[in-house]
Amino acid sequence: MLPRFRLGSRTLRREGRGSLSMEHSSLPAVELVVRTIAETAVANETYFCQLDSVVGDGDFGYSLARGFEKVLECFDGLDRSSPGAFLKKVGLAITSRVGGTSGPIWGTAFLRAGSAVGAKAALSGADVVAMLRAAVEGIQTRGGASLGDKTLLDALVPAIDRLEADLAAGGAEALANAAQVAERAAAETSGMLAKRGRASYTGERSIGSPDPGAVAIGVIASRVSAAWCEYCSAKGAMDRHEKIRQ
């Protein structure tokens, strides 16, 4: 069972690097994560396209960037009545801009994550894991992929497993450790045979290069971890300043 701290609760604060707590509301945390994901996807458009061009269509980076560009364009106007409502609007924004495979898969991930927590205002560690698990189920349902098919799931699922284990153990390095697992798992997809997408048509030629989606998960997880660490450090400094003033 995961420890009972909340994203947004004053009952317990874990401010170590990679922690998952905030003092007031969960919505700022969710906004930070989504904006970081979006900016990372846009910044790495060329890199992700290059990876995809090895045995795929070469348009993965383009599709991902267009979807998250839309998210950034409408960011300020997204529903902020709850973290879940916000995430569902993010998913709809992605699917409205991107067709093909990427749009429905990534859009569904955000829609399912948002639905998993309903109208909750404060999110716990268990809620975060539930959101990620729901996203995985949505991706599997939409894309038909399973773990081991050489897709983004091969980086995402191990990262979630590590995150859940570290949160259960009360580890302050949960996000950082999960990001490391995602990056390592993404690299390990190089030795796998693709069973989904355009790369699957190339048979054994797909062996030797990493899956672009898995790499994207690793890159995004790393940046989210760094952004969260920066946020916690800045917030800790602000809290200390407030205590001195008092």
Q: What is the mean pLDDT of residues 118-133?
A: 95
So what's the pLDDT on residue 235? 66
Name the least confident of 47-56, 96-105, 190-199, 235-244: 235-244
Q: pLDDT per residue over 161-171, tens digit each?
A: 999 999 999 88
| CB proximity list for 199: less than 8 A, separation 6 or greater | 55, 56, 150, 206, 211
So what's the pLDDT on residue 182? 98
pTM as predicted: 0.87
In order of their start, the domains of the chain are: 23-240 (1.25.40.340)
So what's the pLDDT on residue 138? 97
